[in-house]
Amino acid sequence: MNVPLSSVLPTLRTQARRHAVLRALAVAAPPGIALAALTALGIALPMTSLLGVLVLVTALALGWRDARRLDARWLARRLDASFREFDDSAALIVSPPDAPTPLQALQQARLERRLAATFAAQGLPDFRAPLPRAAIARSAAVSLLLVLLVLLVLAAQRGLFDRGDAASIASGPAASAGAIELADARVRVTPPAYTGLSATTESSADIKAPLGSALAWSLRFSGEPRTAALRLSDGRVLPLTKQGERWTATDTLQQSALYRIAFNDVEPAAGVRAYRLDAVPDQAPEITVRLPEKTLTLLDAAPKEWPLDIEARDDYALGAAVLTITLAQGSGEQVKVTEQTRVLDGGSARRERRYRTTIDVAALGYAQGDDLIVRLSVSDNHAPEPNVASTASYILRWPQRRATDTAGLDGPVQKVLPAYFRSQRQIIIDTEALIAARPTLAASAFEETSDTLGVDQKVLRLRYGQFLGEGFESAAERAPAEAAAATGADAPAESLKQIPGEAEAPEASRNGLGQAEDVLHEFGHAHDIDEAATLLDPETRRLLKRALDEMWQAELNLRQAKPVDALPYEYKALDYIKQVQQAERIYLQRAGLELPQADLSRRLTGERKDLSDRRIVLPTAAADGSPVPAIVAALDAGTRPDLSTLNAWLAAHPDATPDALGVLAAADQVQREPDCGRCRADLKARLWPLLPVPPTALKARRTPDAAGSAWLDAIGSVPR
Amino acid sequence: MTSELTPMHLSLAVLALAAVAGAARAWRREVARRHGVLRAGLSVALVAALALALFPPRVSRPADTVTVLTPGATAADLKALPWFATAVALPGAMAPKTIETAPDLATALRRHPEARTVDVRGNGLPPRDQPVAAMLPLRFMPGAERGLVALNAPARALLGTQWRLDGRALLPAVRVELRDPSGAVVDQVTLGVDGAFRLSALARATGEARYELRAFDAAQGLVEAASIPLLIEPGEGLRAIVRAGAPDPELKYWRRWASDAGIAVAVSAGVSDGLSLRDGDAALTASALAESDLVIVDERAWLALLPAEKSALLAAVRDGLGLLLRVAGPLEPGVAADWQALGLVTENLDTPSTVTLDRRTGLRARETFTAAPVTITATGWERLLEDDRGAPLAQWRSEGRGRIGVWTLLDSYRLVLLGEPARYGSLWQTALATITRPRAPEAEAALPATGWIDERSVLCGLGDRAAVLAPSGALITLLPRVDRCAAFWPGESGWHRIQSGAESRPFYVRAADDAPGLRAARDRAATRRLVGRTADDVALRDVPLPRWPFALLFLLLASALWWRERPR
């Protein structure tokens, strides 16, 4: 080979160097592997990874230090020692001088020749030191020992060496001989499809699931009963069927209940544990209206548009949102109400949506004196019927300047119901006009007008219905009605609404109906209470009822675009109304003030004969039959409370507490373990909010002791 | 130094030999003389450092103080101590492991008999150590106060009252909340400037009730929770006679409340001349007055009273009856003269005045009430009810064995209309309880003060066979001493019952983490009271110097010597 030695020999050195590093790594390998294993198992994590990194770094450092020692001089020494042919002058080849003397050059040439042959025959020498087996073995042993130590410490920590813990881990009271118990419970809960929740498997017998979920129990018992069944607190019994080792049953969760497992058709004793079934009902969506800010918005000038911003939130998913826009046009008796609906889009989010829209008010035909009412109904996706939540009605009102309406004043005698009387006549006139104009109108326009007339008729019917104590439909219809009443006939209007406490309200209404302060007046009537409305004598009531029936028929036909059929009903209604108008008396009742009849013969005479004191009796407060105070008193005294009536009372008062099942479970616990002080305290705490508010008790002061009494007596005798 | 050969002497001898040998060797080794001197010096110094590290010399330092670290002592306290101080940590104190721990102060003092003064750091000594510390001069540097530091709550309340508590809480608490036994929040308030707060709650059922006070910091984190144990008692039935000039809403609502509260009321409200609305027999005869506990008379009804009735009334008052004069309007001259004889100087005003009762009743919303248009100057009369500004609305004084009160608030019934019947009831209850006829006192033994678990408490008023029923059902027999008191060490927290003979009294023991701020404040106050005289003479003690500087010196010298001597 003709490669000069000076280029070949350094490779020996690099080889040896690399090998030195490898040797260091080999020694560090066993602890490194051990630490890596511990890190992978997650044991003593930050420590082991840090140590592993440390070991690696140390090994590299040591290896590098060893490698550095294998420099050119070492190579020269080794070569000199290994090959006599070098004549102890290997340094000349390995680190040749820059300017060799003739002798040196000569020796170099000689060496080259000599050793080229040697190396050709023997090959290049290998100066790599062998792997230090002993060191590796030692390090392996030490690392193994350390790993074992770590595992031992961890096992001791985890208490694997504690004897007898298996007994304490067992849950539940000690089973008496022969009692079968629930060993393992697996319940597959499949929520209804519309909720979008996935089916889960619960491993405890206490279940909390959405209402309507399908439950599939799979239970394993500690013994072998003949039959087993689940007895629910609402009386139902679900028999369990044996399938292999496990007992199964299925049911749909319709309401919250407690249940117990009954074996062999034996009623489970009161001491057996009851499990909970919590049904979480689907709540209706929650709606927050951001715009408009107030329910009644009053305008001064012509509006362009009305922005709406409403947020809705549901627990599972939102459905359609329908905006109902009602426009009440006109005033006095001529109120035309049109209604339209619009579906709003709030995005495609499942649970939270924001509906933003603006209503083009002018396009609807909004003018001064009109009311625009909007209401949003949002439904969720509850199956079979969606829960619908609606906002309040938001009114946009542009108040009309008060114009004196002289329609109702027909001389000094007030006719009782002149305004309404005219409205019915107006409807008849409009219907006849519509029938006459039928050939000229398009079909859709005809239907629309007919429908509008039908709505007018409905409004009129409702206004009359007020006198019979029927409810009103919406504020919009009520407000123009009151405007009509107030402007139409002052005194009767005032007397018609004379409900105590609101004597001043008609004053306010006269100043400007539609003021925000009129909310009490508008919404404060108790229209669904018979006594609060105008009382008519039975004959008049009958007439009015008949009139309403006729009006209802007329409305039906008008809304179906059959004004011809509606006309006779309208005439009949007008007849009845005329009769009612001529009724003799209309009584007005003031609730709460029962003035006795004045004895006119004795009035203003000043006679005090036969007058005597009057008895005023204060009725004693009646207890409302709640068993809760008695139970709380018994819990306090340490005696056994009577919990049998609690179930019935809670069922009768579902709004008393949000967690009725918790109260029942606590009561069940107390019945199971009567001596458990903690259970009694827990039941008492749960019953606390159900207690009725007690009247404040009183305690007298105490007499002072002998010295005090003597002192008081002594002072008492001193004149003031 | 005795003449015996102690191990110390032996070691020192060996070290001296080693020093000499080392010095000689070092001297010989070196070629140059100064190097030799240096080397020899170094080796001698090395051995000297080792000797000093093994047997450090002792110095005299004042050592009569034992610093006792109690819970609440911080690391800063520890750092501030001089190096020769003896520090002992009591249980619960956060101290590093190098500090000696003692189970109580007496043990610490036994271990350090030379201690003359005790220097306490932290929150102060618990009750078990306070008697021991009382025997020695004490110095106390309290730690910072934190959380709930003062609480003033009743131990008993009557059924249906809106009972009130007040207290003080310091940073980091900014808001306190009161929860009823069911866990619902019944009242909450943001702390005032100095941390004071006032809360109230309704007592709904008789028996033992545990309310909870929680303090929160600015980030809504819980700072501290304190239980407020309350024993709610039922009331007593009273009998009252009411004479009103005319029926008014105040009478109506008062009758309703009184009837519900168990007062048998006989009312006579005048309607016209000689006519009245009656319920029961409201005649003011001597026998009727002797049986009733309270008589309420309007100023208009007073005008209609016969002289015989008035004298019978006053005689009955002197015998123990309670009389409440209710002012509903300006007084007639006759009435004013009569009442002046009783001690009230009245003057009619034009208009009624408005008062507020927020602080008095604990209302959270500002509501105004009306006081009668009469100024009453009553010298020597006690205040029964004051408005927020301090003007008296009701006053009383004793007359013989009974008491006479005057009431000028016109529309206290508005509390019922506002939806606060409990506050209305509490207002009238405290007023009437002061005035009614006194009853014989019950043999009511005092409840023991609320203690903490693992603290010794003393229960008094015991019979012969006394035992404590713990919440878990365990019965612990007590051994009463001659003075009928026994010591009790509660092992559980909750409501315990003392059963002595036939009677059974409940008391509450707080858990260890219940109201730590109150406990610290109590210990701090008690320890502060014990701070007393300081010792006159200062005892000195020989304290060995710490070893570590000498050991460090040895290490440095050894490294230096090794560096010098290492084979090159």
Are B67 and B177 within one domain? no
Looking at per-residue pLDDT, the higher value among A403 and A150 belongs to: A150
The mean of the pLDDT values for chain A is 78
What pLDDT does residue B63 have? 67
The answer as to whether B213 is a domain residue is yes
What does the block give as tokens for A286?
Answer: 């929650």
Give the residue-averaged pLDDT of A126-154: 86
Predicted confidence (pLDDT) at residue A403 exceeds the cutoff of 80: no
What pLDDT does residue A473 have? 46
What pLDDT does residue B211 have? 94
Q: Which chain A residues touch B158 with a CB distance below 8 Å?
A: 696-699
Are A428 and A558 within one domain? yes
Rounded to the nearest 5°, which phi and psi values hold at B514?
A: -90, 120
pLDDT (tens digit, 9 = 90+) per residue, B411-432? 999 999 888 888 999 999 999 9
What pLDDT does residue B54 have? 86
What pLDDT does residue B293 have? 94
Looking at per-residue pLDDT, the higher value among A200 and A161 belongs to: A200
Whole-angstrom distance, CA of residue B244 vs CA of residue A438: 77
Are B69 and B174 within one domain? no
Predicted confidence (pLDDT) at residue A519 exceeds the cutoff of 60: no
Are A458 and A519 within one domain? yes
Cα A686 from chain centre: 22
Q: Which chain B residues touch A615 with a CB distance below 8 Å?
A: 277-279
Are B174 and B202 within one domain? yes
User: Chain A within 8 Å of B482 (Cβ-Cβ)?
Assistant: no
pLDDT (tens digit, 9 = 90+) per residue, A224-235? 888 888 888 777
What pLDDT does residue B537 have? 61
Q: For chains A and B, count residue pairs whose Cβ atoms are closer than 8 Å.
A: 162
Minimum mean pLDDT among A43-52, A248-257, A509-518: which range?
A509-518
Q: pLDDT > 90: what percent of chain A? A: 8
Alpha carbon of A183: minimum distance to chain B alpha carbons (Å): 29
Give the residue-averaged pLDDT of B464-489: 87
What pLDDT does residue A509 have? 37
Minimum mean pLDDT among A183-197, A400-414, B326-340: which range?
A400-414
* Nearest residue to A343 (alpha-carbon basis) of A333, A353, A328, A329: A353
What pLDDT does residue A3 have? 63
pLDDT (tens digit, 9 = 90+) per residue, A1-35? 456 677 777 788 888 888 888 888 888 888 888 88
The answer as to whether B2 is a domain residue is no
Give the residue-averaged pLDDT of B196-224: 91
Are B459 and B551 within one domain? no
SS3 call for A455: helix
Give the residue-averaged pLDDT of A236-256: 88
Are B269 and B190 within one domain? no
Whole-angstrom distance, CA of residue A454 vs CA of residue A471: 19
Whole-angstrom distance, CA of residue B190 vs CA of residue B169: 10
pLDDT (tens digit, 9 = 90+) per residue, A693-712? 888 888 899 888 889 888 88
- DSSP E strands, A199-245: 200-202, 207-210, 214-221, 228-232, 237-243
* Nearest residue to B466 (alpha-carbon basis) of B421, B497, B430: B497
The answer as to whether B446 is a domain residue is no
Strand bridging mode A257-263 / A246-252: unpaired
Most confidently predicted of A123-132, A180-189, A583-592, A657-666: A180-189
Q: In b/e form, how buried is each residue of A649-680, taking b as 16+ CB within 10 angstroms?
A: bbeeeeeebeebbbbbbbbbbbbbeeeebebb
Given A566, A587, A608, which residue is the final one in a domain?
A: A587
Predicted confidence (pLDDT) at residue A406 exceeds the cutoff of 60: no
The answer as to whether B422 is a domain residue is yes
Find which of A610, A620, A626, A698 to mutate to test the B interface (most B CBs within 10 Å of its CB): A698
Give the residue-averaged pLDDT of B246-252: 92
Given B193, B208, B234, which residue is the final one in a domain?
A: B234
Give the residue-averaged pLDDT of B4-18: 81
The answer as to whether A620 is a domain residue is no
Are A272 and A357 within one domain? no
pLDDT (tens digit, 9 = 90+) per residue, A308-340? 999 999 988 888 899 999 888 876 667 788 899
Residues 6+ apart with CB under 8 A from B315: B286
Report the largest interatomic distance among the alpha carbons of chain A, rounded to a whole angstrom: 167
SS3 call for A289: strand
* Nearest residue to A249 (alpha-carbon basis) of A266, A264, A269, A228: A228
Give the residue-averaged pLDDT of B70-80: 84
Residue B302's CB is within 10 A of a number of other CB atoms, namely 21
Helix (H) or strand (E) holding B126: none
Predicted confidence (pLDDT) at residue B158 exceeds the cutoff of 60: yes
The domain tally of chain A equals 5
pLDDT (tens digit, 9 = 90+) per residue, A616-656? 888 887 777 788 888 888 887 778 888 778 878 887 887 77
The answer as to whether B297 is a domain residue is yes
What pLDDT does residue A161 have? 58
Whole-angstrom distance, CA of residue B530 vs CA of residue B127: 12
User: Chain A within 8 Å of B39 (Cβ-Cβ)?
Assistant: no
- The sign of the torsion formed by the CA atoms of A465, A469, A470, A473 equals positive
In this prediction, residue A163 has a pLDDT band, given cuts at 50, 70 and 90, of: low
* Cross-chain Cβ contact B208/A614 below 8 Å: no
What pLDDT does residue A479 have? 42
Are B300 and B420 within one domain? yes
Find which of B159, B185, B204 to mutate to test the A interface (most A CBs within 10 Å of its CB): B204
The side-by-side arrangement of strands in the sheet containing B147-152 is B147-152, B162-170, B196-202
Are B462 and B496 within one domain? yes
CA angle (A565, A570, A576) in 5-degree steps: 140
Residue A124's CB is within 10 A of a number of other CB atoms, namely 11
Instruction: Supply the CATH number for residue B219's domain.
Output: 2.60.40.10
* Cross-chain Cβ contact B236/A704 below 8 Å: no
Give the residue-averaged pLDDT of A677-700: 86
Range of the domain at B86: 61-145+520-544
Are A137 and A215 within one domain? no
The answer as to whether A263 is a domain residue is yes
Q: pLDDT > 90: what percent of chain B? A: 37
Q: pLDDT > 70: what percent of chain A? A: 80
Q: At what angle do helices A475-488 and A443-465 cross, to 10 degrees?
A: 70
Give the residue-averaged pLDDT of A438-450: 88
pLDDT (tens digit, 9 = 90+) per residue, A569-580? 999 998 888 877
Q: Which chain B residues touch A686 with a CB distance below 8 Å?
A: 182
Are B222 and B365 within one domain? no
What pLDDT does residue B176 have? 94
Given A554, A587, A620, which residue is the final one in a domain?
A: A587
Predicted confidence (pLDDT) at residue B310 exceeds the cutoff of 90: yes
Residue type, A94: V
Q: Which chain A residues touch B318 with a CB distance below 8 Å?
A: 716
Instruction: Supply the CATH number for residue A376's domain.
Output: 2.60.40
Range of the domain at A564: 406-587
What pLDDT does residue B253 have? 93
The domain tally of chain B equals 5
Are A352 and A493 within one domain? no
Are A542 and A571 within one domain? yes
The answer as to whether A719 is a domain residue is no
| Three-state secondary structure string covering B215-284 | EEECCCCEEEEEEEEEEEECCCCEEEEEEECCCCHHHHHHHHHHHHHCEEEEEEEEEECCEEEEECCCCC
**Residue ranges of B 386-405 with Cβ closer than 8 A to chain A:** 398-401
The answer as to whether B150 is a domain residue is no
* Cross-chain Cβ contact B422/A613 below 8 Å: no
Are A196 and A135 within one domain? no
Give the residue-averaged pLDDT of B272-285: 88
What pLDDT does residue B534 have? 64
In this prediction, residue A343 has a pLDDT band, given cuts at 50, 70 and 90, of: very high
What pLDDT does residue B313 have? 94
What pLDDT does residue B254 have? 94
Give the residue-averaged pLDDT of A275-292: 88
What does the block give as tokens for A6?
Answer: 């000076």
Are B260 and B372 within one domain? yes
Give the residue-averaged pLDDT of B103-115: 88
Are B135 and B272 within one domain? no
Are A84 and A231 within one domain? no
Q: In b/e form, how buried is each residue of B498-517, taking b as 16+ CB within 10 angstroms?
A: bbbeeeebebbbbeeebbbb
**Residue ranges of B 484-523 with Cβ closer than 8 A to chain A:** 494
In this prediction, residue A267 has a pLDDT band, given cuts at 50, 70 and 90, of: confident
Predicted confidence (pLDDT) at residue A64 exceeds the cutoff of 60: yes
The answer as to whether A67 is a domain residue is yes
The answer as to whether A645 is a domain residue is yes
Looking at per-residue pLDDT, the higher value among A233 and B517 belongs to: B517
What pLDDT does residue A528 have? 42
Give the residue-averaged pLDDT of A548-562: 89
Looking at per-residue pLDDT, the higher value among A377 and A131 belongs to: A377
Q: Which chain B residues touch A720 with a CB distance below 8 Å?
A: 341, 343
The answer as to whether A164 is a domain residue is no
Are B257 and B327 within one domain? yes
What pLDDT does residue A417 have? 45
Instruction: Supply the CATH number for residue B384's domain.
Output: 3.40.50.880
CA angle (B323, B329, B332) in 5-degree steps: 80
The answer as to whether B449 is a domain residue is no
Are A437 and A328 within one domain? no
Are A664 and A521 within one domain? no
Residues 6+ apart with CB under 8 A from B347: B374, B375, B377
Given A369, A397, A425, which residue is the final one in a domain?
A: A397
Give the residue-averaged pLDDT of B292-319: 93
Nearest to B259 among A615, A620, A709 (CB): A620
Whole-angstrom distance, CA of residue A587 vs CA of residue A486: 19
Give the residue-averaged pLDDT of B66-90: 84
The answer as to whether B441 is a domain residue is no
Are B360 and B495 within one domain? no
pLDDT (tens digit, 9 = 90+) per residue, A165-194? 444 444 444 444 457 888 888 999 999 888
Give B56's DSSP letter.
P
Residues 6+ apart with CB under 8 A from B36: B26, B27, B28, B29, B30
Are A416 and A511 within one domain? yes
Looking at per-residue pLDDT, the higher value among B498 and A516 belongs to: B498
Predicted confidence (pLDDT) at residue A419 exceeds the cutoff of 70: no
Predicted confidence (pLDDT) at residue A104 exceeds the cutoff of 80: yes
* Cross-chain Cβ contact B158/A699 below 8 Å: yes
The answer as to whether A660 is a domain residue is yes
Predicted confidence (pLDDT) at residue B405 exceeds the cutoff of 90: yes
Predicted confidence (pLDDT) at residue B129 exceeds the cutoff of 80: yes
Are A271 and A297 within one domain? no
